[in-house]
Amino acid sequence: MQLRDKVAIITGGADGIGAGLTRKFVEEGAKVLFVDIKDDKGRALEDELGAGARFLKQDLTASGMADRIVAAAREAFGDRLDILVNNAQASRPQLLLEADQASIDLAMDSGLWATFHLMRTCHAALAASRGAIVNFASGAGLDGLPTQGAYAMSKEAIRGLTRTAANEWGKDGIRVNVVCPAAETAGFLWWKGENPDAAKAMEAQVPLGRVGDVMTDVAPIVVFLASDAARYMTGQTVMADGGAIKLR
């Protein structure tokens, strides 16, 4: 077990990629506080995983959310915190010329600002454990996908924040990395059904020939970055996308 006895916070952890991360972290021995706004899915996953996972319903755009999340983790698992995974992100697809302020605020508040505030609130505990932060960005930001302007803004800002934190917090023993995933979530499968030609073209651009599985392809990469096996990695963007995008 790569994460035996470690304590983790995972945002957006009740559905999609986040649910896969919550399951995989518990499987690898971690105790996980997972945060989401989807109450039914969160409680069902908590029941499924038992004592190793605790669910907190929390809107990441709400004032004071970071303090409430850290307090809930302490109440559930004590003062130790080893891992913070900032996975949650909300957004609405819009062309740049049609983007409204509410949609931009939603993307930035749920992604960039939630990540920023949680990182700062968790800093002291992560410094005490010489822990790790894994943030989430996206190929949508790297490629600049049409209709994804607000989402791309948030995700690329998170990459910049990650690099700065890696430089500033290395002296504190905290590692900070980014994952850009491509995975067959329920949302992706819906989009694939609605856009079969576009999905086929996208999959053709993946050298490994398929979109990744959350549990067997993406989650193990995040586990690695959160584990002691990656103790000499920080400030990196890791593409968990089958080779679709190759950073230099």
CATH no., domain 7-240 = 3.40.50.720
Q: Residue 94 CB: number of other CB atoms within 10 A? A: 17
Catalytic one of 55, 151, 169, 188: 151
Q: What is the mean pLDDT of residues 23-33?
A: 98
> Please, what is the average pLDDT of the chain?
95
Closest CA to 115 of 161, 67, 153: 161
232 noted as active-site residue: no
Tell me the percentage of the chain whose pLDDT exceeds 70: 100
pLDDT grade for 198, boundaries at 50, 70 and 90: confident
Instruction: Look at residue 190 in the predicted model and tell me its pLDDT.
Output: 76
Q: What is the mean pLDDT of residues 219-247?
A: 96
Instruction: Look at residue 145 in the predicted model and tell me its pLDDT.
Output: 87
pLDDT grade for 238, boundaries at 50, 70 and 90: very high
68: phi then psi, degrees, rounded to nearest 5: -65, -40
Q: Is the pLDDT assigned to residue 91 strictly greater than 80? A: yes
Closest CA to 29 of 5, 47, 13, 9: 5
Which of these ranges, 16-30, 109-123, 177-191, has the smallest mean pLDDT? 177-191
Closest CA to 156 of 131, 136, 185, 132: 136
For residue range 138-185, what is the model confidence (pLDDT) as tens digits? 998 999 989 999 999 999 999 999 999 999 999 999 999 999 999 887
Instruction: Look at residue 9 in the predicted model and tell me its pLDDT.
Output: 98
Instruction: Look at residue 184 in the predicted model and tell me its pLDDT.
Output: 84
